[in-house]
Copies of this chain bind each other. A is one copy, B any other.
């Protein structure tokens, strides 16, 4: 049993903890955060299903006064685990790294950290082999993780020369009050960082793209224009997507009208928090046009990186050395690829 700790118990950290708890070959030792946040209050209301470690000792009185037992400090947690999933705010992970190094522990950072924080920039499906045995891995961000799922599987089957993407980015998560946008679309310079990141993970594919921020809280939508290396058909592309355990092919005609339909559907599935790990591809958008493939995908930004982070633990801890075996175990425990 690989012992895992989650540092930073926010939107991503909570989901990572739940994801680890589902992996039968891993043990979640505990979660750490800085004080009495809403997720920590929810953890208490749920009966302290995970042990809580306090990263800022000054807040111990407040936390305990709320009825939350403190199992130790951040360093205490780090010492008890084999690997840390760091889901702190951007920039904090780089500081925490000193602690991980001090105790010789491994760590997986999320997409908000600088790429230089890690030994390898990682995606479970696209470059699993690069992560094997590495001490520090950084996951791709939510958009890039989902995008690469779709490009990687096409690339392995059909070959992809280059992609031009238009990202229609949700600007906040449900419940965010620290950021937002009201009745405005915001444009980023070309290329966006997701295209650049894709090229870091898949250096044999060229990429660029436009990014527009939109005032919604549910999934990002990405329109992809990909140049295949050989002729293909809509049917073949759909088969490739349907065979992928982390991609759902959905239909406008069935009522999946956009990102909000998928959010509602995931809630109706009874998933914890109404989360969805899979990206979705709209069947009616998949098109072969001239020498290009066109399609649109939905990225559920809160949960999409959970499976690939589980993969990262597997790679770093050498739990599996074969890419497909590794992602397959993750998928089985997360109930992906029905």
Contacts and interface: CB of A to CB of B under 8 A. Distances in A.
Contact of A190 (B45, B179, B214, B285): B285
A130 interface: no
A65 interface: no
A252 interface: yes
A208 B287 CA distance: 9
Contact of A285 (B168, B171, B210): B210
A303 to B, nearest CB: 11
Contact of A185 (B46, B172, B218): B218
A146 B181 CA distance: 25
Say whether chain A's binding surface is mostly helix, strand, loop, or mixed.
mixed
Interface residues on chain A, size class: 35 or more
Nearest to A215: B182
Contacts of A173: 264
B274 A273 contact: yes
B180 A182 contact: yes
B164 A225 contact: yes
A170 B185 CA distance: 9
Contacts of A212: 168, 221, 223, 258, 296
Stoichiometry (number of copies): 4
A270 B47 CA distance: 12
Nearest to A178: B257
Interface in A187-221: 187-191, 206, 208-210, 212-219, 221
A162 B284 CA distance: 21
Given A191-B287, A215-B216, A185 B268 contact: no
Nearest to A161: B290
Contact of A38 (B41, B45, B182, B268): B268
B189 A184 contact: no
B289 A208 contact: yes
Interface in A252-266: 252, 254-261, 263-265
Given A168-B214, A270-B272, A177 B260 contact: yes
Given A180-B180, A189-B252, A46 B287 contact: no
The 4 tightest CB contacts between A and B, nearest first, are A175-B264, A184-B260, A180-B182, A166-B166
A270 B50 CA distance: 13
A116 interface: no
Interface string A43-57: 001100000000000
A239 interface: no
A187 B221 contact: yes
B177 A181 contact: yes
